[in-house]
Amino acid sequence: MTDEHRQGATRAVVERVRGIRYEEIPDEIRETARHCLLDFMGTSLAGSREPLTEILVREVVREEEVSEATLIGRPERTSREKAALVNGAAGHALDFDDTHTVMGGHPSVPVLPALLALAESTGASGRDLLSALVAGVEVECRVGSLLGIGHYALGFHTTGTVGTFGAAAACAHLLGLDEQAWLHALGLAGTQAAGLKSSFGTMAKPLHAGRAASAGLLAATLARGGFTSQQAILETDQGFAATHGGAEPTAASLESQPDHLLIRDTLFKYHAACHLTHAAIEATRGLTQRHTLDPEKVVAVEVEVHPMLMGVCNIQKPTTGLEGKFSLRATTALALLGCDTGDPEIYSDAAMAEPQFVALRDRIRVTATEAVTPMQAHVVVESEIGRCEDMLDMGIPAPDLAEQGERLRRKFLLLAAPVLGAAAAEKLAGATSSVQEFESVSDLMRLTCPS
């Protein structure tokens, strides 16, 4: 297909978001953006103590004179690119951060680490931060939609790949780049973007988010300095779409996408495991509560899910807590046992080896069916007292933002208090809910460090 027929999809993405301004953003979009920020702060604070974060700090954040940016939940400071890397990996370490069905991945964790590091080092305001966040998530979703499900089906981790575009776009917006620099920034993002689904269940998966954040930040700052790249990176021959799968991207395909700002459709996680396991967890919990199921009397369980999930979260016999987050059998067993699947401590190596858990896990069968969507699950439980079943859909954005905000605040305090202390966690939660009033993001970031 010629460039004339492709109609400049990369340029069309830029034109759609470059003009976003805080004053013109609807209230519900601003509120959702604040929810994304609060949720990211919580997951990154909890992730700041994970082994993978300790390794990154030890091996990457060495003694240096540069102290541009904060490491969330830690005393160290570092360069903004290293801060984006470490905070991004920490934010995704527990796999507890937000998701988006249009993007096909986790929208905030590649964008916010890059954005916070850049905003802190440039003295940007809270309003600037929120506007750039909305723009970055919008680009992720538009690019993810253009690529289609084929990109994910080929084995790419969208958080790492498409997330790099989002991080670059957010930083380009914060820097106020002109159109040509925007195009170069996305081109530089596309040529750096990486991440493979085969890494799920290992430390490499959170690394994808950190690398997307740092690569996106680098792309925008290089473009500001005059660094050049392919300006039609999505649609050009041997460009991102051609090499990474998905439908042929065109400006016309962008026009067929939803008109509203897509950050509003962000889905938040209340179970500390892969989001594709949540429908099965919720269905199982509902059945357990309604029928007072005794796990010892459960004979067999069938979990029907979309075929796409079989290559994502179907680890049959997880031996580590990380693997357990990507095992429908494990998460369903935890739900049957009445465990708090919203507590990250539940997903431990010891829990995966506990005899009662293993015995129950092995009575669970996961099957694929096209009768459900990737965000749905049909669970059938056979017990000594009979048969019960339910189906849940976790792909619907919350209609009530106030209720969502309260749930996220409770989740945040659960994650943040052990790191910051209860009083400091409350203070940070309050600051995040009014971030638009901050003259400098640096003031917000100071609240993320334990005293």
* Other CB atoms within 10 Å distance of the CB of residue 26: 12
Alpha-carbon distance of 421 to 445, in angstroms, equals: 16
The whole-number mean pLDDT for each consecutive block of 10 residues of the chain, a chain of 451 residues, reads 58 95 97 98 97 96 83 96 98 95 95 98 97 98 91 94 98 98 98 95 96 98 98 94 83 76 96 93 95 94 96 94 94 96 93 96 97 96 93 93 96 96 98 97 97 80
Alpha-carbon distance of 97 to 350, in angstroms, equals: 24
Alpha-carbon distance of 265 to 121, in angstroms, equals: 30
Picking from 109, 124, 126, 116, the residue whose alpha carbon sits closest to that of residue 36 is 109
- pLDDT for the residue numbered 7: 58
Picking from 157, 197, 201, 199, the residue whose alpha carbon sits closest to that of residue 352 is 201
Exposure string of 67-79, with b = 16+ CB inside 10 Å and e = fewer, is: ebbbbbbbeebbb
Contact indicator for 35, 264 with CB cutoff of 8 Å: no
- pLDDT for the residue numbered 413: 97
Contact indicator for 425, 447 with CB cutoff of 8 Å: no
Say which residues have a Cβ less than 8 Å from residue 73's Cβ, sequence separation at least 6. 44, 45, 46, 47, 48, 49, 90, 419, 420, 448, 449, 450
Contact indicator for 246, 117 with CB cutoff of 8 Å: no
Picking from 258, 267, 278, the residue whose alpha carbon sits closest to that of residue 399 is 267
Picking from 383, 382, 408, 306, the residue whose alpha carbon sits closest to that of residue 41 is 408
Where do the domains of the chain lie, and which CATH numbers do they carry?
3-268+401-446 (1.10.4100.10), 275-393 (3.30.1330.120)
Contact indicator for 185, 171 with CB cutoff of 8 Å: yes
> Which two three-digit tokens encode residue 308?
């796409």
- pLDDT for the residue numbered 258: 79
Picking from 261, 270, 262, 260, the residue whose alpha carbon sits closest to that of residue 406 is 270
Angle at 74 between CA 72 and CA 79, to 5 degrees: 65
Alpha-carbon distance of 124 to 370, in angstroms, equals: 47
**H/E element holding 368?**
strand 364-368
SS3 383: strand
- pLDDT for the residue numbered 255: 73
Alpha-carbon distance of 93 to 203, in angstroms, equals: 7
- pLDDT for the residue numbered 70: 97
